[in-house]
DNA sequence: TATGAATGAGCCTTCATTCAT
DNA sequence: CATGAATGAAGGCTCATTCAT
């Protein structure tokens, strides 16, 4: 009966939210491991302890879980990106901070990110996914704007800025395939190394991030 | 009664191979557009003009098509990579040639590549995909070897060679999402631009590839 | 999401068992009439009132029904046979009681028995049928042991004991083709008549069974 | 185009008949091993060396093979039975000779017999099988007539003649499950042992068959 | 004759979703 | 809230049969 109608009394609401979160997390994990289509409601039932029917108290549909996963991935990321870009730091600091936040977020949302990547055909094709697509585009737009600014003030050097953006998107989107928390390099270190690929030699090593990294 | 047994008479064999190829290509396209699971045999039937049952003359199963797509993608790529790496050119030339061949191959196999990417969970999980996994690993191994050599002879400069390899894999694997034949940049130009991200300043512009690019 | 997992709450469990039983009985009847392969899940759906999908709440597969039919046939029969053979009655009484129990069981499981007979090629060939095969062999073993004992104490007379056992198996296994409850002869009468084919003349008419039959 | 139109020129006709025979034999064997429905035209293709389409030169349909198998089983048996019953030998000799011929025929047609048995549901249900059913009934009629005569002249002794006939049918129909050429007992010996179950003590050992058996 | 391609109906099974309890 | 029963639509695949060559 609910799914769209979560309880309003605060005590119940808290429990509801908690369980919904657990469901989404379980879904992200299973979808990432087996694929969205290859994961059945029965699998989710097994992973959550909820019976098949019970799942529908927390989501209107299986696709709703997929949307929730994407939202959980994109909403905080976009919010952070906007905050960072609104700062009056120079463009190279923006880039560095963006990359760091981005990789940190991915590191804590690896299954979400894997799902987001492998369901591209769904997200890009279906009309009901417009909102999600828009968020992804907004994030890329912020990134591009930073690169433009960096090129303008000479703190970044590109042979071809468009290709640089695409390279950046590629390397970061690929990270969930290998990045693991507690790995040899922290997400922030990786961000700094990659950032340097585009920072003009003169500006390198100047930022706080860089300093920290050098000490490590 | 065949599916796994193509005809032996040469005339028929040619016809068979041709139609099988058409089937695989259609499958690659549809799988890329809608996803493997969301594409039904009926969809393939519609796309090829073959009745549903007739498809099974050319493949033993739907999964067989997926494997064929990956093989068509990886086999020639691996062969080219091996040829290039066997050359006695310097490491930076190897890298440039590898990247060019790689991006050219992707450009002519975009649907294959999209399918390969989004079916990662299948390829990485199931035992019958071992051979495919192995090919991917072999290719990455070749690439890594070239980077090691480039670092050794000073023609390449990495802050962290491991991260450089992962960055490279990421940017190229992401290319099928936006690369289109006849686009603003040729595959070879893109290869050269990206290659330069890792070439030591002193070596840049020295290679034949670079020269050509500069003239363009 | 069950099929193999019947509900645990007692009230539901009773309902579940009852419906599963109805399904198995319907399957036995249809399989006997048309053959296992020629009976579709749709036929079972029609016979049970359950939609096609609903059948899979009560069995994991069509083959599971076949196994259940064989188990329902063999398990109680084997149990009875063991009980009878454990008695300290003389061998000829054992034989008579075994035959009576056997034919009574067949009379109340005619479809099961027909199915068991006509699916011999499946039961004998496939590895997953080992348990069923074993039960059949155990029953025959019990029978043989009784014949050995009867031959030893002179209460039975065989030209060739092996052929006597095979004759017995043959005539009883053939019974479901013509035996009908309420027919001219009761299952017990038939058992007694056939039993006498192997009882030494001196012992005939001595057993309780025989006495009852004479009166009839 | 043929199947129903075998060639008329004698030379071709011989080859045609030979191949058709090979096909029927292969079918009998496979049907007996796996069941009629579980045997595909592809299986027959593999067993005969004929391509799938080629099989239809020798039979109009898969069911035609099943009918041919039954005919090959029943026609010669019925012919022999009629010949034996037409003799003016005494009933007990008739029975003995019938049983011998019957078991010998089964011994050389084991797969046919297994198929005939396990396809009972088809043979007994479908209208197009009337002719086959009729042959089976005719054979049983001949047998019953002999028992009647044996009971009348006192050479046979039955507690219940109907049950004796059914016992006989059962034991012989079950024989293909275990009878093998070259086994411990010849088909004729088996026939004699089983025959004696129904021969009145006074008549036993008198017949030629019995004499031969005693010497062995 | 014989082949292999092709068909199209049918089959078992899975699964997201609904609903009475 | 939660459950388990039930549905009905698909989906992948098999297969007897036909037919052009």
Backbone angles phi, psi at C207, to 5 degrees: -75, 155
pLDDT value at residue A216? 37
**Cβ contact A170–B166 (<8 Å):** no
Q: Using CA atoms, how far apart are residues D216 and D214, in angstroms rounded to an integer?
A: 5
pLDDT value at residue D8? 77
Residue bearing tokens 């450089």: B164
Pick from A199, A196, A106, A121: which is nearest to A156 by CA?
A199
pLDDT digits (tens, 9 = 90+) for C16-32: 999 999 999 999 999 99
Tell me: pLDDT of D215 over 50.
no
pLDDT digits (tens, 9 = 90+) for C105-136: 999 999 999 999 999 999 999 999 999 999 99
The mean per-residue pLDDT over the stretch A45-54 comes to 96
pLDDT value at residue A141? 98
pLDDT digits (tens, 9 = 90+) for C152-202: 999 999 999 999 999 999 999 999 999 999 999 999 999 999 999 999 888
Structural tokens at position A5: 């109608």
pLDDT value at residue A212? 39
| pLDDT band at residue C85 under the 50/70/90 scheme | very high
pLDDT value at residue C2? 52
pLDDT value at residue C4? 64
* Residues of D in Cβ contact (< 8 Å) with C33: 121, 125
| pLDDT band at residue B2 under the 50/70/90 scheme | low
Pick from C162, C201, C202, C208: which is nearest to C191 by CA?
C208
Does B20 contact strand E, using a CB cutoff of 7 Å?
no
Which residues between 72 and 131 in chain C have a beta carbon less than 8 angstroms from any beta carbon of chain D?
Answer: 114, 117-122, 125
Residue of D30, D31, D170 to mutate, testing the C interface (most C Cβ within 10 Å of its Cβ): D170
DSSP string, C96-110: HHHHHHHHHHHHT-H
pLDDT value at residue D210? 41
Q: Using CA atoms, how far apart are residues D92 and A115, in angstroms rounded to an integer?
A: 83
Q: Which chain E nucleotides are covered by protein, judged by CB under 7 A?
A: 1-20
Tell me: pLDDT of D13 over 90.
no
Tell me: pLDDT of C203 over 50.
yes
Tell me: pLDDT of C215 over 90.
no
Chain CA centroid to CA A72, Å: 8
C-alpha distances in Å from residue D189, one per residue of B142, C167, D97, D143, D146 = 77, 14, 11, 19, 20
pLDDT digits (tens, 9 = 90+) for A111-126: 999 999 999 999 998 8
Burial of D63 (0-12, 13-18, 19+ CB in 10 A): middle
| pLDDT band at residue B92 under the 50/70/90 scheme | very high
Average pLDDT, whole number, for chain A? Answer: 92
Tell me: pLDDT of A168 over 80.
yes
Nearest beta carbon to residue A185 from set B114, B163, B170: B163
- Sign of torsion, CA A7 A24 C5 C52? positive
| pLDDT band at residue A3 under the 50/70/90 scheme | low
Rg (CA), chain C: 20
What three-state secondary structure class fits D181? coil
Tell me: pLDDT of A74 over 60.
yes
Q: Using CA atoms, how far apart are residues C32 and C43, in angstroms rounded to an integer?
A: 13
The mean per-residue pLDDT over the stretch C141-147 comes to 98
**Who wins on pLDDT, C54 or C6?**
C54
Q: What percent of chain C has pLDDT over 90?
A: 85
Backbone angles phi, psi at B15, to 5 degrees: -60, -45
């Amino acid at each position: 009966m609910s799914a769209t109608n979560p309880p309003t009394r605060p005590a119940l609401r808290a429990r509801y939210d908690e369980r919904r979160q657990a469901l989404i997390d379980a879904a992200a994990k299973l979808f990432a491991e087996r694929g969205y289509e290859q994961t059945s409601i029965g699998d989710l039932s097994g992973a959550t302890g909820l019976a098949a029917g019970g799942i529908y108290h927390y989501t209107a549909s299986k696709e709703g879980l997929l949307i929730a996963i994407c939202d959980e991935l994109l909403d905080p990321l976009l919010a952070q990106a906007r905050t960072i870009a609104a700062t009056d730091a120079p463009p190279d600091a923006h880039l560095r901070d963006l990359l760091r936040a981005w990789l940190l977020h991915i590191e804590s949302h690896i299954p979400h990110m894997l799902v987001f990547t492998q369901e591209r055909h769904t997200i890009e094709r279906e009309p009901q996914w417009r909102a999600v697509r828009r968020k992804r585009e907004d994030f890329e737009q912020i990134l591009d704007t930073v690169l433009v600014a960096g090129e303008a003030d000479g703190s970044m050097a590109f042979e071809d800025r468009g290709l640089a953006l695409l390279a950046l998107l590629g390397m970061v989107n690929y990270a969930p395939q290998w990045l693991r928390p507690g790995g040899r390099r922290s997400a922030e270190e990786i961000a700094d190394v990659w950032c340097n690929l585009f920072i003009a030699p003169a500006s390198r090593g100047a930022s706080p991030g860089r300093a920290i990294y050098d000490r490590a």
